Every structure is written in C-alpha cells, then in structure tokens.
Chain A
Amino acid sequence: KAGVTQTPRYLIKTRGQQVTLSCSPISGHRSVSWYQQTPGQGLQFLFEYFSETQRNKGNFPGRFSGRQFSNSRSEMNVSTLELGDSALYLCASSGTGVYNEQFFGPGTRLTVL
C-alpha cells in the first residue's frame, strides 16, 4: 500500500507570494490533517479535513487555508507569505477507526525569502 505523498518536497518563495501544497493520502483514508513543524514551535496542528469538509482547525491566521477533493486528496494554501511561514509542512492521513493512527508524509520544506 502506497504511503502518504506530498508535493512538492521543497519550495522557495518570497514574501508576499502565495503557495499551494498538495497531499495524497493512503488509499481508503478519508481524513487528512495538516501540521506546521518549526524548530521553535514543534508540530502545530493547522486543520483536518474529512469527506471534503473541514472538521477541525488550529490557531493559525486566515492566510492558511485548505481544501479536500472527492478523492480525498488535499491541498493547503498560504497567501501573503511571511518569513515566519518558513517551515516543514506535514500532511497526515488516517482511517475511520475509534483510535485513528495518523500516517505522515515526508513533508514539504517551504522557505520564504
């Protein structure tokens, strides 16, 4: 079974630009969560999508948004990039059991210059 894939793996942008990251979950998984990982803040939850609906949201500004498609693939968008948005963005997919193990992708390394 193929794992979680994320594209692109590396991205360099400048302040003010916007960026879209993509995540393909494990086949059959309908929940996709996004996390931001930085050395100072650790792993911070951004949002979770299930069946094309945002089910949960972390404490990030509205510049961070996402969506999920009918095939469970998800995209995350960050508008008006700031230097502080430089981070590793991780996507995790999970099934529908009571205790849902999350399977993480390798992440997209975003650098904002």
Chain B
Amino acid sequence: GENVEQHPSTLSVQEGDSAVIKCTYSDSASNYFPWYKQELGKGPQLIIDIRSNVGEKKDQRIAVTLNKTAKHFSLHITETQPEDSAVYFCAAGVSGGYQKVTFGTGTKLQVIP
C-alpha cells in the first residue's frame, strides 16, 4: 500500500518568513495530493491540493509543488502569520470511485510573532 513520509515534524518560523513542508510517497499510482490544516479542537481542513498532471499550484500565500519522478511534493507558505500556526498534513491517494488517501504524520507549525 501507499506510504507517505512527512518532514519536519515540527517547524518554528518568525512571522513574515516562509515555511516549507516536504512529503514523499511510495505508490506511483497515486495521482491526488491534498494538504490539510488542523487547528486545535477541529478536524482537518483542506487548504490546497494538486493533481498529477500539474507540477505546481498556487493560492495566495500557499503553493504546492509536485515531482512525480522523485515521488515528492511540498507545501510552501510565504509571509507567515500567527494564524498559520497549526498542524499540517500531506496526503496521497488515487482519485476516482473511492476515497482512500494515506496521510503523512503531520507537521506542527509555530509562527512566532
């Protein structure tokens, strides 16, 4: 089955700096790579996703890159703000008729004001 590794497990940045979280996956059949943000006491919330026919996607301060050859994808947050502090999860899976994404172990991001 799919195996997703995520690094780092914790990340502290100064407000205004950039944060980068990296993930690798094992199953070459995976073609859907969502990223989730989980705040304390809440369920994960999708913040951005990328599909295998795209190498990069950007949404305001958030961007994701995908390298299918190397089987890794990354989340980039620019101009970080205190409200970006949360746990971020990457995931990999196969799109289509059923839902089964495999999650990374999470990165706790702390943005220091």
Contact = CB atoms under 8 A, between A and B. Distances in A.
Given A99-B51, A99-B95, A48 B101 contact: no
Interface string B27-46: 00000101010000111111
Interface residues of B, number: 24
Q: Is the interface of B mostly helix, strand, loop or mixed?
A: loop
Interface in A31-68: 31, 33, 35, 42-45, 48, 50, 55-56, 58
Q: Is the interface of A mostly helix, strand, loop or mixed?
A: strand
A103 B101 CA distance: 13
Contacts of A55: 97-99
Most chain B CB atoms below 10 A, which of A44, A98, A105: A98
Interface in A87-113: 90, 92, 94, 98-107
Interface stretch (B65-73, B77-85, B102-110): B102-110
Contacts, number: 61
Contact of B99 (A4, A42, A48): A48
Interface of B: 32, 34, 36, 41-46, 49, 51, 89, 95-106
11 contacts: A31-B98, A35-B103, A42-B104, A43-B44, A43-B103, A50-B98, A98-B96, A99-B51, A103-B46, A106-B42, A107-B43
Given A48-B98, A100-B99, 20 more contacts: A31-B98, A42-B89, A43-B44, A43-B103, A43-B106, A45-B100, A45-B102, A50-B98, A56-B98, A56-B99, A90-B43, A90-B44, A92-B99, A99-B51, A99-B95, A100-B95, A101-B49, A104-B43, A106-B41, A106-B42
